[in-house]
A and B are shown apart, each in its own frame.
Chain A
């Protein structure tokens, strides 16, 4: 199988305009062909993205390209199964590290991730602050959460997904 050409996503204009490129990047990742790499151009080293991409099965090589800008090449790790990592059922998931993200992005990611998981599974999450609005939403959805303060390192949460069987997409 020939590896398709690398897809380049330049989020620098979005960042300079004060926007949040995460959703755009994830949309691009979702659209990647099997084995295709992603080249990302950003105005800073997008460290939080590395863990997210690693969990989706991508290695990363980053380099500074002048003017404070960074280029990151995300390459798929050694051949995955035909369906790719996201097709496997997730049971216990994590860690999802949301530290360094602007509110309400941590809440958005946690709730999105939870909705993809089967009932009864557990998600491990790290946050900078006590996510009080997230607690309210988790309680409203019937999920339980066990949180622990880590001092300077923020908070660690174990969220157990509840809900009717088959609710996960």
Chain B
């Protein structure tokens, strides 16, 4: 019998991810990164990589170490590789930050090499965990829809970090690694592949399973979902094909086609999510699903804005606020909401699973207080919305104030997660209620 248990390192990934998330928001709020600093400044790159590698990548990898064995029915994965990978990515990220700060003179120029060395460590860490998760996916074939999204996401993660380390080499040692084509085309591909290919496809795959599972909606039938995956993958393929036809009309057609296919994929996914929310059997939405819905709204708004700006040729003027809305509203918002479900759920399984049926145990929902946490989620999403609007209108001070608000909201959400993990559930303070004793449960099938 398959013995799927709890991933050993998932919570450590989540803790490290949250620390990076708070650090990035702090830098932005204090004016040590965009929007106070230029978008392409070294300090902004520090904050950007804290969000993308530190927060979102570690969050998703930690979740996948737990999620992939569950969707493929395989045994626990990454008992050892999980920790090695976390350390490599963490140390690598710190190295990259040192390197970035050396580039703009904050640290001695001799430290620029840390950028490439750190990038190399991130590649090693990502490769290690991608192979670990990839093997479970290969063993779990044929894959259901969420597994296919995750497999595609991991491939794009590898492409993204390989492009990233190429940049690091070119920036750290320009005399040896000066690739003109990389400088011209690489940045857009790095961003598109990372944001659409890795973050978004993985988030979509996980959301298909988690949202339907916890809202008691019919499991994805895969009809629309498969086209979401095909369309998005083809779109990224076109982005990559464009530079190879540089100077020909096909380059422009490929870029527009890639954007169009990505927008179509987003539209199909949103339509499918509306279906899942409508067909749910659970009348009252839990906080994690409400946060998921808010994140989906941010996703829809980002995609609409992207479409309008891309095809009216004004994208470059608004690219900062747009990426902000996408990273903080959609990806981080979804991540925070799902953490609020996953952390108590895994904690409950770990702590009370072995005692089930033998003694009184609290319910999963006794580990959290939605009433206490809901205001922080509301504050988080409202602040991100206000920040995006302020950014688009060009009012950086208001934007930074909004970032400060969602930083505080994030800290308060972190406190709720901490309580769920280490706090004492209220239900344990009272004697075992009769409802939880074995006698209260029916003797199924005992009728004559």
Residues in A lying within 8 Å of B, measured CB to CB? 15-20, 23-24, 26-27, 29-31, 43-44, 52-57, 68, 85-86, 88, 90, 92-96, 100-104, 107-109, 111-116, 123-124, 128-130, 132-133, 135-140, 144-145, 169
Bound-complex Cα distance A123 to B409 (A)? 47
Check B439–A30 contact: CB distance below 8 A. yes
- Residues of B with C-beta under 8 A to A101: 216
**A30-B439, A102-B214 in contact; A55/B434 too (CB < 8 A)?**
no
- Residues of A with C-beta under 8 A to B213: 102-103, 129
Q: Which of B2, B216, B357, B364 has the most CB of A within 10 A?
A: B357
Check B446–A104 contact: CB distance below 8 A. no
Cβ-neighbour of B69 out of A20, A109, A114, A132 (below 8 A): A132
B19 within 8 Å of A (CB atoms): no
- Tell which of B243-251, B345-353, B376-384 binds the partner: B345-353
CB within 8 Å of A: which B407-448 residues: 433-436, 438-447
Query: Chain B 1-33 against A: per-residue CB contact (8 Å), 1 yes, 0 no?
Result: 111110000000000000000000000000000
B310 within 8 Å of A (CB atoms): no
Check A52–B444 contact: CB distance below 8 A. yes
Check B354–A137 contact: CB distance below 8 A. yes
- Tell which of B85-93, B177-185, B228-236, B283-291 binds the partner: B283-291
Q: Give 4 nearest A-B pairs by CB, closest first.
A: A27-B435, A115-B357, A23-B435, A132-B4
Query: Chain B 41-83 against A: per-residue CB contact (8 Å), 1 yes, 0 no?
Result: 0000000000000000000000000000110010000000000
Bound-complex Cα distance A38 to B353 (A)? 31
Check B356–A18 contact: CB distance below 8 A. no
Check B445–A94 contact: CB distance below 8 A. yes
Bound-complex Cα distance A90 to B448 (A)? 11
Check A88–B434 contact: CB distance below 8 A. no
Check B444–A18 contact: CB distance below 8 A. no
Q: Closest residue of chain A to B282, judged by CB?
A: A102
A79 CB to closest chain B CB (Å) equals 12
Check A135–B354 contact: CB distance below 8 A. no
Bound-complex Cα distance A115 to B69 (A)? 28
- Residues of B with C-beta under 8 A to A123: 444
Check B445–A116 contact: CB distance below 8 A. no
Check A90–B445 contact: CB distance below 8 A. yes
Check A135–B285 contact: CB distance below 8 A. no
Number of CB contacts from chain A to chain B under 8 A? 148
**A15-B284, A85-B447, A90-B445 in contact; A169/B3 too (CB < 8 A)?**
no
Check A86–B286 contact: CB distance below 8 A. no
B23 CB to closest chain A CB (Å) equals 33
Check A135–B349 contact: CB distance below 8 A. no
Bound-complex Cα distance A96 to B444 (A)? 6
Check A139–B447 contact: CB distance below 8 A. no
Check B438–A115 contact: CB distance below 8 A. yes
A44 CB to closest chain B CB (Å) equals 6
Q: Which of B285, B434, B435 has the most CB of A within 10 A?
A: B435
Could you pull out 30 A-B pairs where Cβ atoms are within 8 angstroms? Answer: A15-B283, A20-B363, A23-B436, A26-B441, A29-B442, A30-B440, A43-B283, A55-B447, A56-B443, A85-B446, A86-B442, A86-B443, A90-B446, A95-B444, A102-B214, A103-B213, A104-B345, A104-B349, A108-B356, A113-B442, A116-B439, A129-B213, A133-B4, A133-B349, A135-B4, A136-B5, A136-B353, A137-B356, A138-B1, A140-B354
Check B357–A112 contact: CB distance below 8 A. yes
Q: Closest residue of chain A to B358, judged by CB?
A: A115
B144 CB to closest chain A CB (Å) equals 10
A87 CB to closest chain B CB (Å) equals 9
Check A94–B443 contact: CB distance below 8 A. no
Residues in B lying within 8 Å of A, measured CB to CB? 1-5, 69-70, 73, 213-214, 216, 219, 281-287, 345, 348-349, 353-354, 356-358, 363-365, 370, 433-436, 438-447
Q: Closest residue of chain B to A167, judged by CB?
A: B358
Cβ-neighbour of A113 out of B2, B285, B353, B444 (below 8 A): B444
Check A104–B348 contact: CB distance below 8 A. yes
- Residues of A with C-beta under 8 A to B3: 135-136, 139
Bound-complex Cα distance A115 to B216 (A)? 27
- Residues of A with C-beta under 8 A to B440: 23, 26-27, 29-30
Cβ-neighbour of B365 out of A19, A93, A130, A137 (below 8 A): A19
**A23-B440, A107-B356, A136-B3 in contact; A95/B284 too (CB < 8 A)?**
no
Cβ-neighbour of A88 out of B70, B348, B357, B446 (below 8 A): B446
Check B356–A111 contact: CB distance below 8 A. yes
Bound-complex Cα distance A124 to B357 (A)? 17
Check B443–A102 contact: CB distance below 8 A. no
- Residues of B with C-beta under 8 A to A135: 1-4
- Residues of A with C-beta under 8 A to B281: 44, 100
Bound-complex Cα distance A15 to B285 (A)? 10
Check B438–A26 contact: CB distance below 8 A. no
Q: Which of B70, B345, B442 has the most CB of A within 10 A?
A: B442
Bound-complex Cα distance A130 to B214 (A)? 15
